[in-house]
Amino acid sequence: MEFKGNYVAIITPFRNGEVDFQALEGLVEHMIRGGVSGLVPCGTTGESPTLSHKEHDLVIEEVIRFAAGRVPVIAGTGSNSTAEAVRLTRHAEKAGASAALVVSPYYNKPSQEGLKAHFRAIADASSLPIVLYQIPGRCSIELSLDTIADLAEHPRIQAIKEATGNLGNVSDIRRRTDLEILSGDDNLTLPILSLGGGGVVSVLSNLLPEQISALVQAGLEGRMGDALAIHEALYPLMRAMFLETNPLPIKTALSAQGFCAEEFRLPLLPMDPKNRNKLMRILEDTLTNLKGE
């Protein structure tokens, strides 16, 4: 598949401790109507660390069913256990996913050779295209440029979600590989597009899929002035998505707009009231400004 456009890191809505599949279906419809390029369930934004194996499999299956072939689904199948990541990736392929997003193994901190062996084992285990997920802030380990270049030689490793915050990495990866580069941060989507990136795996698109899709499309078409105007209109809310740990702000904002319950799983707790109030002010201002355009 072509990894260009706006892919949504979709939340996992909960109600009374269980996955709320009715709310999940509503979110999928909202995003597809907003023109997104694809859906990414069971990533960090989807609170995957607290999903049971059964829930993880079922969320991916149901998102694929709700999407009904209208957009591709890139299933989050990463784990710090290579065997578990292989199982998740094989399940996603069987369920009908179009690709797999695989995060670097966290906590056990393998060597660069161990990282290469991990990702190659996953890529060898199915026919799905693989998107590497580089986020050292959560994994405490970073894929080196040499490692990325070596992994890019595997025919099924085709893209990377870049969430280091280091824009120099984008140029380095483009210079050394043919991987498509997707921004892992909404607020860096525009600069990454300007450096030749292919799009974003977006948190804010859970709420504003139409606007983020328009930003990405404008950037891909070289209409950087149009993209900049959208970026600037959304920038305060993009930043507010990190007032506290993702996905607390986006799920809180979605709840305020009636898309889901404001419910998380421990160890995540609801936002601090001061931060929540700040988020609500920024959200209200952003939505008011968008309506006035």
Look up residue 173 and give its two tokens.
């990866």
Choose, from 161, 251, 278, 291, the residue flagged as catalytic: 161
CB count in 10 Å sphere of residue 32:
18
Per-residue confidence (pLDDT) for residue 292, from 0 to 100: 78
Query: Which among 164, 124, 123 has a CA at the least distance from the CA of 144?
Result: 164
Domain assignment present for residue 203? The answer is yes
Look up residue 182 and give its two tokens.
């997707």
Query: Which among 192, 284, 264 has a CA at the least distance from the CA of 45?
Result: 264
Per-residue confidence (pLDDT) for residue 280, from 0 to 100: 98
Q: How confident is the prediction along the chain (293 residues), in pLDDT tens digits per residue?
A: 899 999 999 999 999 999 999 999 999 999 999 999 999 999 999 999 999 999 999 999 999 999 999 999 999 999 999 999 999 999 999 999 999 999 999 999 999 999 999 999 999 999 999 999 999 888 889 999 999 999 999 999 999 999 999 999 999 999 999 999 999 999 999 999 999 999 999 999 999 999 999 999 999 999 999 999 999 999 999 999 999 999 999 999 999 999 999 999 999 999 999 999 999 999 999 999 998 76
Beta carbons of 131 and 100 less than 8 angstroms apart: yes
What total number of domains does the chain contain? 1
Per-residue confidence (pLDDT) for residue 112, from 0 to 100: 97
Beta-bridge partners for 7:
38, 201
**CATH for 171:** 3.20.20.70
Q: How many CA atoms lie within 13 A of 155 on its CB side?
A: 4
Domain residues for the domain of 62 are 5-218
Domain assignment present for residue 161? The answer is yes
Specify the 3-state DSSP secondary structure of 97: coil
Beta carbons of 106 and 78 less than 8 angstroms apart: no
Query: Which among 37, 32, 91, 95 has a CA at the least distance from the CA of 67?
Result: 32
Per-residue confidence (pLDDT) for residue 293, from 0 to 100: 63
Choose, from 4, 109, 116, 133, the residue flagged as catalytic: 133
Domain assignment present for residue 257? The answer is no
Rounded CA gap, 256 and 207, in Å?
11
Beta-bridge partners for 64:
none
Domain assignment present for residue 278? The answer is no
Rounded CA gap, 148 and 133, in Å?
11
Beta carbons of 20 and 212 less than 8 angstroms apart: no
Look up residue 73 and give its two tokens.
């689904």
Domain assignment present for residue 117? The answer is yes
Domain assignment present for residue 275? The answer is no
Rounded CA gap, 249 and 219, in Å?
26
Domain assignment present for residue 232? The answer is no
Specify the 3-state DSSP secondary structure of 19: strand
Domain assignment present for residue 268? The answer is no
Specify the 3-state DSSP secondary structure of 174: helix
Specify the 3-state DSSP secondary structure of 157: strand
Beta carbons of 135 and 184 less than 8 angstroms apart: yes
Active site residue 251: no
Rounded CA gap, 293 and 190, in Å?
21
The sign of the dihedral angle between the CA atoms of 25, 132, 52, 250 is negative
